Amino acid sequence: MKRCIAVLFLILLAPRLADANEAKDVITRMITKLRGHINVAEYDMTVSRPAWTRTLKMKVWDDRTNKRVFVRITDPAKEAGTSFLRLGYNLWSYLPAVEKVLKIPPSMMLQPWMGSDFTNDDLVKESSYIDDYDHEITGSETVDGAKVNKIEMIPKPDAPVVWGKVIFWVRAKDDLPVRQNFLDEKGRLIKDLVFSDVKTMDGTLLPTRWEMSAVLKQGQKTVLLLKSIDFDPVPTVPESVFSEKNLHP
């Protein structure tokens, strides 16, 4: 009798496990498409507030395989040289104005990154979308004539994440993200990220415009524009790039 109950349980559980695996596979393919194994990219980031707007230019070295990222602001002159280094879940910054390297503590992970609507956590924790969440496809819809799957991600117990839930809308035909929502532990929508302007960059179809809106703060948004990207550059990125010494320009 116990064996029959166990078999029945597995039969009932199988579709849910298959759905969870499929959802995780979609997220894995999406991140692989966006970042590859290693890339070097240039971005423009425009931060908009009701009373002002400013644009930063930056270069990013992203080694997803080894969970490390280096970012250097190149323009405007007042911000040029500001740098960030991520190694695993650790983040350091270099501020030319004070000529100091600072380690950013976990308590500051939700603070705005360079005054934008992206946070320090967005920079540090992106790879954890695969490992630190349980995934589920909760529905599908049509966006601009294309089928889009809705994937809800709930943090695993004790996972080092700050969001209560993350929701992705991902195109079924090519695993490109269309939208992303960030919810707090009370289920409130805090940030909304829209991906658009899909173009072929270094042989890969990518959304080149990422618009992050602060849902609870009217008139506040940040637009990140991908200007260029080189996947798996040759020669490869030197180890010295991902070092505290490189934080000093």
Statement: the pTM of the whole predicted model exceeds 0.85: yes
pLDDT computed for residue 106 by the predictor? 82
Q: Give the Cα separation of 245 and 166 in Å (integer).
A: 35
Give the residue ranges of the chain where pLDDT is below 50. 7, 10, 12-18
Q: Looking at the domain assignment, is residue 45 inside a domain?
A: yes
What pLDDT shows up at residue 59? 97
Quote the pLDDT of residue 17.
42
Instruction: Give the domain CATH number at 24.
Output: 2.50.20.10
Q: Is residue 97, in this structure, part of any structural domain at all?
A: yes
Separation between Cα atoms, residue 223 and residue 241, nearest integer Å = 26
**Res 191: pLDDT:** 95
Exposed/middle/buried for 23, CB within 10 Å: 0-12, 13-18, 19+?
Answer: buried
User: Looking at the domain assignment, is residue 135 inside a domain?
Assistant: yes
**Domain count across the chain:** 1
What is the predicted pLDDT for the residue at 5? Answer: 53
Q: Quick one: which of 45, 68, 47 has its CA closest to 58? A: 45
Asked if residue 45 lies in contact with residue 122, where contact means CB atoms within 8 angstroms, the answer is no
> Containing domain of residue 36, as a range?
18-247
pLDDT at 3: 59
